[in-house]
Amino acid sequence: MIDSYIELLTFSLVCKTLSITEAAKELNKSKAHVSRQLSNLEKRIGTTLFYRTTRSLTLTENGLALKDDALSLLNMSKNLDYKAYTVSQEISGRFCITIPTSIATSIFPLIILNLKQQFPKITFEIIVSNNVEPLLDKKIDMGIRLGITSDELIAHKVGEYQTILVSSNKSDENKENKDLTLIIDSFSSKGRLYISSINKEININEFKDVIFVNETATQLSLIQNGLGVGLVPSFVLSGIGQSNLFRIRSEYCSKPIEAYITYPYQTPLPEKLAAVSAFLREELHRYMNNK
């Protein structure tokens, strides 16, 4: 019975990735192990599930017939594993949160201090990433997301913010764009020539020069050292060490962007997750809406 389950779980992962290499990584097994499990399953049920070439895998007609049920099994297995991991009701132990760099380098140092005071027995693990990290796959308890959510997760809105133009030099307010260097987070801009604001589209070619960086800490450091002006989330001005930044060009701001905390659906909700969630919602709301 256990061997059959392992074969089916392996098949499910290969259905999801269509890659023996990727399935092996998720299972933390060798590619030979994955191939062997697939072969054992095909022998046991008496049918071929994949067409194999040296470069790709393709599901056969019989494989396609099993695909939806296999992916359901994979999802159920991950949920069961996550619930088993979070079954403890004591407000202690590990708690993992993934956050974007803009929050990590601005308001989160203030928030983590309050979290540790409120929950002294919890060991917090913080993953700073601008990627949408898979919470179940990586056993992450909670994610803070900016502007995006997932239908697979519980999401609580914690506030709104705007992208605003800031400088460390108040006199930049009176300068023309052609005399300023724009320092911009490439993760937020996605390389676009135009940046949306409420009243207009900002053509980045209007500026004397443009510097792209891939995370907020470097962007803020360059702005604070007077190397240019930058488009940053409005909550950045609430963070530690940002007192020397000033908002300029009030017309250069985006439409409101929503921020959320998210976590996998569970019932009943573990006490630790419920407590940290309630506290974080209040903390983030305070900084997000501090205009």
At 199 the pLDDT is 54
Specify which residues 157 forms β-bridges with.
260
Two tokens, residue 282: 């209040």
- 2-85 CATH fold: Arc Repressor Mutant, subunit A (1.10.10)
The arrangement of secondary structure in 93-161+257-288, i.e. its CATH architecture, is: 3-Layer(aba) Sandwich (3.40)
pTM value > 0.75: no
pLDDT per residue, tens digit, the chain (291 aa), is 667 778 888 888 888 888 888 888 888 889 898 889 889 988 988 999 888 887 788 899 988 998 888 888 888 887 777 666 655 545 788 999 999 988 998 888 889 998 998 899 899 999 998 888 788 788 889 999 988 777 678 889 998 888 888 999 988 988 998 999 999 887 655 444 445 555 566 777 888 998 988 888 888 899 999 999 988 888 888 876 667 888 888 877 778 888 999 998 877 788 888 899 999 998 888 887 655
Evaluate whether 185 touches 219 at the Cβ level (below 8 Å). Answer: yes
Query: Concatenated DSSP letters for 142-154?
Result: EEEEES---TTEE
Structure tokens belonging to residue 254: 């985006």
What is the CATH topology of the domain spanning 163-253? D-Maltodextrin-Binding Protein; domain 2 (3.40.190)
Cα(176)–Cα(158) distance, integer angstroms: 36
Q: How many CB atoms lie within 10 A of CB 127?
A: 14
> Within its chain, how far is the Cα of 237 from the centroid?
22
Q: How many residues does the chain have?
A: 291
Domain boundaries, the chain: 2-85, 93-161+257-288, 163-253
Which amino acid is present at 283?
E
Q: How many CB atoms lie within 10 A of CB 200?
A: 11
Q: Alpha helix locations (H) across the chain?
A: 2-17, 20-27, 31-45, 61-85, 101-104, 108-118, 186-189, 216-224, 271-288
Q: pLDDT at position 123, please? A: 92
Which of helix, strand or coil describes residue 253? strand
Tokens at 239, concatenated:
């963070």
2-85 and 163-253, same CATH topology? no
Closest CA to 34 of 64, 1, 67, 57: 57
Residue tagged 């443009």 (tokens)? 210
